[in-house]
Structure 1
Amino acid sequence: MTRRNARELIMQMLYEYTFHNEEDADRLIGEKLSEIRANEDGSNKAVIKFIEEEYYGVLEHLDEIDELINKSTQHWTVSRIAKVDLGILRLATYELKWRSDVPHKVVVNEALEIAKAYSTDKSPQFINGILGNVIKLIEG
């Protein structure tokens, strides 16, 4: 499993999380990691650790992430953003602010590629604009 696959999985879990209670967070990741472990030979411990760190990192900083997203949009709020796009934005915003080991270009590119695969034709442009503003806020 690549980091791109891991990010896609995290985005899917974040999407599911929007329809559940906070108490379901552990169950959601537990189910996905069980599937990975059942289908893998155990060589992806680093990827599993990456998934756990990213998923729980987003949830830990969710209020701050949503605030950054809200400040980075014009005439939009987190509640109006499509849930798939929101999952992508939350993950990318987390990486931009709290993961110094991942270059901003890589974060944005990964987000755009995931959006192309999972969202509408207009989503990559929308996400790119918001992430550009998030970067300005973080660096500013």
Structure 2
Amino acid sequence: MSRRSARELCMKILYEMEIKKEFDRKVLMTNEEYKVIKTEEDLYMENVIDHFINNQRIVDEILESHLTDWKLNRISKVDLSILRVATVEILFIPEIDSNVSINEAIEITKSYSEDKSAKYINGVLDSIATEKQSS
């Protein structure tokens, strides 16, 4: 499994958590795709999911503070899940360059969301990365 595929699966897991309102690691562990595909990216996926579960309030507050005229509950659940994966990478996984996180989020957005979402997601994530670098 490639890192992009792992990011996509993380996005799907976070989407499932959001739909079910069940923010628990068992959503990852019971996911059929995750159970079937055991790869070197397992640790990455577990890291992203665990960081999100343990820091959901922080991630969502930071995201919301960088949204322009929007609230989290107005963003599509797919876009929100993509933003959450990339935000976790930017904030909590320093070995992943912020530009890589942003570019991967844009590419995943192009596959799973509307065309106009990519530009918006780029702006939000760039703002988060810039703020993190200046702090």
TM-score (norm 1): 0.88
Q: Does structure 1 residue 75 correspond to structure 2 residue 64?
A: no
| Structure 1 alignment gaps of length 5 or more | none
Q: Is the 8 A contact 2:13 2:28 kept in 1?
A: yes
Separation in structure 2 between the aligned mates of residue 35 and residue 51 of structure 1, nearest angstrom: 12
* Deviation by residue 1:78-130 (Cα, 9 ceiling, x = unmatched): 11111100000011011001111001111011100100000001110010010
Separation in structure 2 between the aligned mates of residue 49 and residue 93 of structure 1, nearest angstrom: 18
Q: Which moved more, 1:51-60 or 1:7-16?
A: 51-60
Larger Rg: 1
Residue 64 of structure 1 corresponds to which residue in structure 2? Answer: 58
Residue 30 of structure 1 corresponds to which residue in structure 2? Answer: 29
* Deviation by residue 1:8-33 (Cα, 9 ceiling, x = unmatched): 000001011112243x623321122x
Letter in 2 for 1:26: R
- Matched pairs, number: 134
Residue 135 of structure 1 corresponds to which residue in structure 2? Answer: 129
Shift of 1:139: 2.1
Q: What RMSD in Å do the two structures reach over aligned CA positions?
A: 1.5
Letter in 1 for 2:15: Y
Letter in 1 for 2:6: A
* Deviation by residue 1:36-80 (Cα, 9 ceiling, x = unmatched): 443x5x5x1x21111111111112111111111111111111111
Aligned residue for 2:20, secondary structure, equals coil
Counterpart pick for 1:55 among 46, 49, 52 = 49
Q: Is the 8 A contact 2:29 2:35 kept in 1?
A: no
- Give percent identity, aligned residues only: 34
Separation in structure 2 between the aligned mates of residue 36 and residue 130 of structure 1, nearest angstrom: 29
Residue 6 of structure 1 corresponds to which residue in structure 2? Answer: 6
Separation in structure 1 between the aligned mates of residue 18 and residue 99 of structure 2, nearest angstrom: 27
Separation in structure 2 between the aligned mates of residue 36 and residue 18 of structure 1, nearest angstrom: 18
| Structure 2 alignment gaps of length 5 or more | none
